[in-house]
Structure 1
Amino acid sequence: MGTDRLDEVLDAAYDCLTRYGVRRTTMDDIAATMGVSRSAVYQYVRGKDDAFRRLAARLHTRALERARRAADDPDAPCAERVRGVLAAKHDLVVELSGPSPHTAELLDTKARLFGGICASFTADLRRLLIRLFGEAGTAPGVEPAEAADICIALVIGLESVEDGRALFGPAADALLTGLLGAPAAVG
């Protein structure tokens, strides 16, 4: 029951985030969205900062789980596994960039509330990519860590352009072809 109610609090915090943003949301807003008293919300979070921090952690954790599943798929070729890791990061950004201008606040690496969560997420993705490139090998002159950094830079670049979603597939395929030293056979 406690986890279900915490999920309700985080869902309500997300709803408030889409409408008001982090700064303008109050605990009263979260409580009203849930249809409970403010004191009921305090049973699950210490305050609005805690609610938004937990919300950001939940979203990044889900994306990291998708990335790990992709990386650990024994039946997929390496290029497809790398692409799955990159897609997990890109999809998180697309998800949080769409519904409201405020939801992207959860991705701000410089934000006091979310910076550590974002940095940790990116570091975990980097480790997954280094492992994958270490297993598959890379083109001559490119170390696995460099290949991982290049991949992350690609996704960050695509996050900043309007048609990044449409460009993701061709960009990832072209990059992986170069980094792996062979055509990237991905679907």
Structure 2
Amino acid sequence: MQSQSPTRNLDDGTDVDRTILDTARQVFETYGVRRANIEDIAARAGVSRSTVYRRFPTKDDLFERVVRREAEQFFATLDRATSGRDPRQAVIEAFTLGVRLVQDSTLYSRIVESEPELFGLFSRSDAFPIRQFADGIAHTLRRCGADLPDADLANIADVLLRVALGIIVFPTERLDISDDAAVRDYAARYLVPIIGSSPNLS
């Protein structure tokens, strides 16, 4: 009789992926991305290392999927928040939700506090999440009525995202990011004008 594996029997691929991603998120939150390792994640998830490696060949791949999943949740929320709004209102909503996301997310808060250089690494590659976040913002602006060439809209979205990240990673006394009203006013005063000079973005 074949001996049973000490790992959990998760037959459905989706369930396995979800278990691994949930566990990886917890480990990243607790130890940071750099100190986390696949062996620990596998043990905590109750699966074998080979199971994790088959789905996520490297820790970077695993971390990318964890962040991608959070981004999907963020843009689902953003889609609801910007429904029926114009592009300028969408900028305010996107900025406010983005700031709140980092504050409410233990994972992002951990990165901001202990490993902010990771944001820099993302920004210098074609990999997720910086590019996908910018693409998502551009998509939201387009859906809200922005009428610009794709390249111009992508650049505007990229600038808006980098301004927001800069404020989050390098806080300023000029803005209390815990105050939603102040965050909205800041976006209206200083970010909306970035798109205001574009006549077709109305």
Same fold per TM (> 0.5)?
yes
Residues 68 and 36 (structure 1), Cα distance of their counterparts in 2 relative to 1, 3 Å cut: same
**Structure 1 counterpart of 2:178, one-letter code:** R
TM-score by structure 1 length? 0.67
- Corresponding position of 2:101: 92
Q: Which residue of 2 aligns with 1:61?
A: 72
% same residue:
27
Residue 161 (structure 1) aligned with residue 171 (structure 2) = yes
Deviation at 1:99, TM superposition (A): 4.8
Deviates more, 1:32-41 or 1:95-104: 95-104
- The answer on whether the counterparts of 1:70 and 1:82 sit within 8 Å (CA) in structure 2 is no
Matches within 5 A, 1:129-140: 130-131=141-142, 132=144, 134=146
Distance in 2, Cα, partners of 1:87 & 1:3: 32
Q: Do structure 1's residue 19 and structure 2's residue 30 form an aligned pair? A: yes
Change (3 A) 1:133 1:47: same
TM-score (norm 2): 0.63
- Given that 2:87 and 2:146 are in contact with CA atoms closer than 8 Å, whether structure 1 keeps it comes out as no
Amino acid at match of 1:55: V
In proportion to residue count, which structure has more helix? 1
* 1:174 corresponds to which of 177, 181, 189: 189
Deviations 1:139-187 (A, max 9, x none): xxxx977865664354234312163332422212333675659xxxxxx
Given that 1:56 and 1:114 are in contact with CA atoms closer than 8 Å, whether structure 2 keeps it comes out as no
Q: How many residues align?
A: 171
With 154-163 and 9-18 compared, the bigger mean Cα shift is at 154-163
SS of corresponding position for 1:165: coil
1:49 shift after superposition: 2.7
With a CA cutoff of 8 Å and minimum separation of 6, indicate the structure with the bigger relative contact order.
2
SS, match of residue 50 in structure 1: helix
CA distance in 2, matches of 1:128, 1:176: 17
Q: Deviation of residue 10 (structure 1)?
A: 1.0
